[in-house]
Amino acid sequence: MDLGNRIKETRERLNMSQDELAEKLDISRQVISKWETGKSYPDIEKILKLSDIFNLSLDS
Tell me the average pLDDT of the chain: 95
Contacts of 28 (CB under 8 A, 6+ apart): 22
Within 13 Å of residue 6, how many CA atoms lie on the same side as its CB?
14
As a whole number, mean pLDDT of residues 31-51 equals 96
Are 8 and 16 in contact, with CB atoms under 8 Å apart?
no
Q: What pLDDT band is residue 59 in, cutting at 50, 70 and 90?
A: confident
* Whether the predicted pLDDT of 1 surpasses 70: no
Please state the domain count of the chain.
1
DSSP type of residue 27: S
pTM, 2 dp? 0.90
Any domain includes 39: yes
* Whether the predicted pLDDT of 53 surpasses 80: yes
Any domain includes 17: yes
* Whether the predicted pLDDT of 60 surpasses 90: no
Any domain includes 42: yes
What is d(CA 6, CA 25) in angstroms, rounded to the nearest whole number? 17
- Find, among 25, 3, 14, 4, the residue nearest to 54 by Cα: 14
Any domain includes 60: no
Owning domain of residue 34: 3-54
Report the CATH number at residue 48.
1.10.260.40
As a whole number, mean pLDDT of residues 44-49 equals 96
